[in-house]
Amino acid sequence: MGSPLKKKQANCVAVCVLSMWCAWSFAAETPVQIMAHIWGDLPRPQLCLAPCDQPPTIDGQLNDDAWAVASVMTNFIRVGGGSNQKIAGLDAADAASEILVTYDATHLYVAARMSEPEMNYLVSKAQNHDDKAWEDDCLEWFLETKEQGSPILQLVVTCAGVVWDGRHTDNKTDVGWTCEGLRVATGRGVDEWYLEMAIPYEGLGMSAPTAGQTWRTSFCRERYATLRGGPQISDSRLRWTVF
């Protein structure tokens, strides 16, 4: 961690993380309507992702060479916690979050380093697949692979490695959808917790990214381990485009 990013000449993926603040402001809308609203109104910064030569071992340790070439996302913002509720991004999250992403021909790889000064208060009530993972300290990931209108895929992984996965369309959320082949692992340090995911394209129902393809996505952290009372929700802003 902390190694300078290595630039490769191979195809790369660029990602724009979108603010999820609006998702909690338009509760009457469906998930697809919410995300379409967000993606239509917010700026879309891009980040280039380099492929890894060897896939990381998914063990919650974040010590593989693959993460040295991963692109890094930081500067998460508080959701609904700013002095002006109409503007996302005024306040930095109380606890820092760092997301790393790389990929190869078969998988997308995501790692997270979650700073947590209150490690003894981490919440991890969910025990089984598709339990209410968002009620624990967790990371949520939303993905739409087309401009608008395609199903939005969502993965929620708790600090204990419990997964909720679902697929959102205009009319409903399909909680029966499962990202087959998904592998996750979590770990804990003195003042931070870790997450690693290997996400197979096949499990997402799609092929590996190709040149010119755009993937719109958002990472969102829910933090319950706080003396202020939880949850505190924070996110970063992204869009991915394959060049």
Tens of pLDDT, residues 157-198? 999 999 999 998 877 888 899 999 999 999 999 999 999 999
Q: Are 68 and 102 in contact (CB under 8 A)?
A: no
pLDDT tens digits, one per residue of 102-138: 999 999 999 999 999 999 999 999 999 999 999 999 9
Mean pLDDT, to the nearest integer, of 60-84? Answer: 80
pLDDT of 241 above 60: no
Per-residue confidence (pLDDT) for residue 46, from 0 to 100: 72
Percent of the chain whose predicted confidence (pLDDT) is above 90:
45
Domain 13-242 has CATH 3.40.50.300: no
The predicted structure's pLDDT at residue 149:
59
Q: What is the pTM of this model?
A: 0.79
Map out the domains of the chain as residue ranges. Answer: 13-242
Percent of the chain with pLDDT over 70: 66
